[in-house]
């Protein structure tokens, strides 16, 4: 045929891939192009998508997430150059620069569950919030309120479902889709249908979706699912002791907004997520000998405040903000500022929550943390109380 039309074929790029399930052995057949025996390969890249012999798309998702990681690197540079950017700008940049690479052709492979993309998205959020890699992902995801990567993939699939439904039957793609629906075993449509069932209930049937689906509704349902998962998981992390006191709803937090500088945003985020340098956190890496002489992690109740050399008070967020006598001068300014805003200053977890959440209080809270942390550093170094500034 090719000879007849004087068509040349790039034989180095012409390969054979045998798509099959994992139990089926690869074919023994030989495939020839003229005299040339074609190589049978495990993966093949076509139009930017990596197809593997078992159609798991794992290699594809991994490669795309790596490319997305490189795009994220550019965002790091922009963020540094612009001395930090606000939430809306950062979200826009991420969605327009990183997501299109990460979710390239996710309509095809997005029915599967991959974690690679979540790693990239978490890295982006950590960079924006200014927290370390030891910060619990759930906390930063909850504060940022971005849809999860699984949510984004499923949205792509649902959007494509609608496109297929609306295609005229004369189109080849539509015919393949209709055929795929008939097979419905480990096919794209069976997996897409599974997603729809998790959203609309197990008692729904294919017929319920053959007129197309309401994408807005899908997005709402996916967001609800994100929130449900988050609520279920959040209780499992002891690190989030303070966080859980005031954070009950998944969604964008005030402190992520532009009125706080990058450095201030980071101070608040660390205090909320339990990753500041307080001993309750660093004590995890301290060891003590138990009764049997074995080394064990220093228990939380023994992570006492070394700054005021307390014999009973654990250095946690509450102690740092309301109790530690070493920060008296900083606290006086905090109390003054709180009362200036018409609020009552009192030692309470309620106020702690408000200080780390409410827009009018965040700035003065960040000022306190900044000032008190500086004092803390000086005390740690010199072992004495610094002079007030």
Q: By the criterion CB under 5 A, which residues form the site for Zn ion?
A: 305, 307-308, 324
Query: Taking a C-beta distance cutoff of 8 angstroms, is the pair 54, 22 a contact?
Result: yes
Query: Taking a C-beta distance cutoff of 8 angstroms, is the pair 337, 364 a contact?
Result: yes
Min separation Cβ 302 and Zn ion, Å: 14
Q: How many residues does the chain have?
A: 389
Q: Which is nearer to Zn ion, 201 or 384 (CB)?
A: 384
Min separation Cβ 329 and Zn ion, Å: 14
Min separation Cβ 216 and Zn ion, Å: 51
Q: Which is nearer to Zn ion, 324 or 356 (CB)?
A: 324
Q: How many CB atoms lie within 10 A of CB 303?
A: 19
Q: How many CB atoms lie within 10 A of CB 87?
A: 19
Beta bridge partners of 37: 32
Min separation Cβ 281 and Zn ion, Å: 15
Helices 58-81 and 116-129: crossing angle, nearest 10°? Answer: 10
What is the DSSP-derived secondary structure letter of residue 342? Answer: T
Phi/psi at 256 (5° precision): -80, -10
Q: Which is nearer to Zn ion, 350 or 380 (CB)?
A: 380
Written as one string, the DSSP assignment of 344-384 is: -----HHHHHHHTT-HHHHHHHHHHHHHHHHHHHHHHHHSS
Query: Taking a C-beta distance cutoff of 8 angstroms, is the pair 137, 226 a contact?
Result: no
C-alpha pair distances (Å), 43 with each of 18, 49, 64, 298, 376? 9, 10, 15, 50, 56
Q: Which is nearer to Zn ion, 95 or 301 (CB)?
A: 301
Min separation Cβ 278 and Zn ion, Å: 10
Min separation Cβ 277 and Zn ion, Å: 13
181: Cβ contacts below 8 Å, ≥ 6 apart = 189, 206
Q: Which is nearer to Zn ion, 321 or 361 (CB)?
A: 321
Q: Which is nearer to Zn ion, 41 or 308 (CB)?
A: 308
Min separation Cβ 307 and Zn ion, Å: 5
Q: Which is nearer to Zn ion, 143 or 317 (CB)?
A: 317
Q: Which is nearer to Zn ion, 253 or 317 (CB)?
A: 317
User: CA 364 to CA 340: how far, in whole Å?
Assistant: 11
Min separation Cβ 311 and Zn ion, Å: 11
């Amino acid at each position: 045929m090719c000879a007849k039309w004087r068509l040349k074929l790039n034989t180095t790029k012409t390969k054979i891939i045998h798509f099959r399930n994992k139990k089926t052995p690869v074919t023994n057949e030989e495939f020839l192009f003229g005299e040339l025996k074609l190589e049978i390969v495990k993966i093949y890249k076509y139009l930017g998508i990596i197809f593997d012999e078992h159609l798991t798309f794992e290699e594809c998702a991994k490669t795309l997430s790596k490319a997305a990681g490189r795009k994220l690197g550019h965002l790091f540079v922009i963020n540094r150059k612009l001395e930090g950017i606000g939430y809306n700008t950062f979200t826009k940049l991420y969605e327009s620069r990183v997501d299109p690479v990460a979710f390239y052709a996710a309509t095809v492979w997005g029915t599967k569950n991959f974690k690679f993309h979540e790693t990239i998205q978490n890295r982006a959020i950590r960079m924006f919030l200014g927290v370390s890699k030891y910060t619990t992902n759930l906390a930063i995801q909850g504060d940022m309120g971005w849809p999860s990567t699984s949510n984004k993939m499923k949205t792509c699939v649902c959007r494509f479902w609608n496109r297929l439904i609306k295609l005229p039957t004369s189109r080849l793609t539509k015919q393949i889709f209709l055929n795929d629906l008939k097979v419905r075993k480990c096919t794209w449509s069976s997996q897409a249908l599974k997603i729809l069932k998790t959203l609309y209930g197990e008692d729904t049937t294919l017929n319920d979706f053959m007129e197309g689906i309401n994408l807005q509704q899908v997005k709402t349902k996916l967001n609800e699912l994100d929130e449900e998962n988050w609520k279920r998981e959040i209780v499992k992390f002891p690190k989030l002791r303070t966080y859980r006191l005031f954070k009950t709803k998944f969604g964008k937090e005030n402190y992520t907004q532009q009125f706080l500088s990058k450095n201030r945003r980071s101070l608040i985020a660390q205090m909320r997520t339990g990753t500041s340098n307080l001993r309750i956190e660093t004590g995890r890496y301290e060891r003590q000998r138990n009764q049997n002489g074995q080394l064990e992690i220093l228990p939380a109740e023994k992570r006492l405040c070394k700054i005021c050399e307390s014999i009973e008070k654990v250095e946690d967020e509450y102690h740092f903000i309301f109790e530690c006598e070493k920060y008296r001068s900083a606290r006086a300014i905090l109390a003054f500022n709180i009362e200036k805003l018409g609020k009552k200053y009192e030692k309470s977890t309620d106020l702690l929550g408000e200080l780390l959440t409410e827009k009018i209080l965040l700035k003065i809270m960040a000022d306190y943390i900044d000032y008190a942390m500086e004092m803390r550093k000086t005390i740690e170094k010199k072992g004495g109380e610094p002079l007030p500034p």
